[in-house]
């Protein structure tokens, strides 16, 4: 008896989700790095100082170079004048006719006391040839506790171009763009996962 083999029925395979392209992977990586950096900068330069009563200021000139060049963001904490010593970096509020009221950051080189209390502090920029006018305790904003290298460079460039407001706008735009790209990437991954679950069902046992 002649028998014919039944033709093998091959079920069409469903293509799984296409692998992520290198360009898409690099874009996602850049977005996450940029967003993470922006959030870290926001916490270190804004949230922490605000929670601890401190203040963050950007170095605008080269008077403290090379140790603290323009663009560094310095974070200060208020301290008693009696606790200051030579070598500390402080910010103080100068007379309005000196810098227009903009705080100055220089290094303490001498602390003068009278009857056990600080009467004045002598400060000088690391790159300056002479000390500043003596600083009174009431002028002190705080002592530097840490700094963020070159995180304020955009603000320096905008300030010297007479566009100080531009730095805030650009920073907000960067954060907004990163959040938008992160949201798009999240939706894309969820869509790919859903498609894969529909096209690759678990075979019945």
Return the closest-CA partner of residue 148 out of 76, 63, 50, 62: 76
Question: Looking at the domain assignment, is residue 84 inside a domain?
Answer: yes
Question: Looking at the domain assignment, is residue 21 inside a domain?
Answer: no
- 182 versus 60: the higher-pLDDT residue is 60
Instruction: Say what the pTM is.
Output: 0.67
Contacts 24+ apart (CB under 8 A), 3-12: none
Question: Looking at the domain assignment, is residue 33 inside a domain?
Answer: yes
Question: Looking at the domain assignment, is residue 195 inside a domain?
Answer: no
* Segments forming the whole domain that contains residue 70: 28-186
Q: What CATH number does the domain containing 170 carry?
A: 2.10.109.10
Chain-wide mean pLDDT for the chain?
80
Question: Looking at the domain assignment, is residue 76 inside a domain?
Answer: yes
What is the domain count for the chain?
A: 1
Question: Looking at the domain assignment, is residue 4 inside a domain?
Answer: no
d(CA 133, CA 34): 42
Mean of pLDDT values over 3-10: 50
Question: Looking at the domain assignment, is residue 9 inside a domain?
Answer: no
- 49 versus 61: the higher-pLDDT residue is 61
Question: Looking at the domain assignment, is residue 143 inside a domain?
Answer: yes
């Amino acid at each position: 008896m002649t028998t014919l083999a039944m033709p093998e029925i091959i079920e069409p395979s469903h293509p799984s989700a296409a692998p992520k392209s290198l360009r898409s992977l690099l874009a996602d990586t850049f977005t996450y790095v940029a967003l993470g950096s922006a959030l870290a900068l926001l916490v270190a330069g804004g949230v922490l100082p605000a929670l601890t009563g401190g203040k963050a200021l950007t170095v605008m000139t080269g008077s403290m170079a090379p140790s603290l060049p323009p663009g560094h963001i310095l974070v200060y904490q208020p301290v008693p004048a009696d606790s200051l010593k030579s070598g500390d970096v402080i910010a103080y509020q100068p007379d309005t006719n000196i810098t227009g009221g903009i705080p100055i950051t220089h290094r303490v080189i001498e602390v003068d006391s009278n009857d056990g209390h600080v009467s004045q502090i002598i400060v000088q920029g690391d790159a300056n040839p002479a000390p500043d006018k003596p600083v009174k305790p009431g002028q002190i904003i705080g002592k530097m506790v840490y700094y963020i290298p070159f995180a304020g460079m955009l603000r320096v460039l905008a300030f010297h171009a007479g566009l100080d407001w531009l730095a805030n706008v650009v920073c907000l735009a960067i954060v907004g763009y990163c959040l938008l790209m992160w949201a798009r990437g999240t939706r894309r991954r969820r869509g790919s996962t859903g498609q894969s679950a529909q096209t690759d069902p678990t075979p019945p046992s």
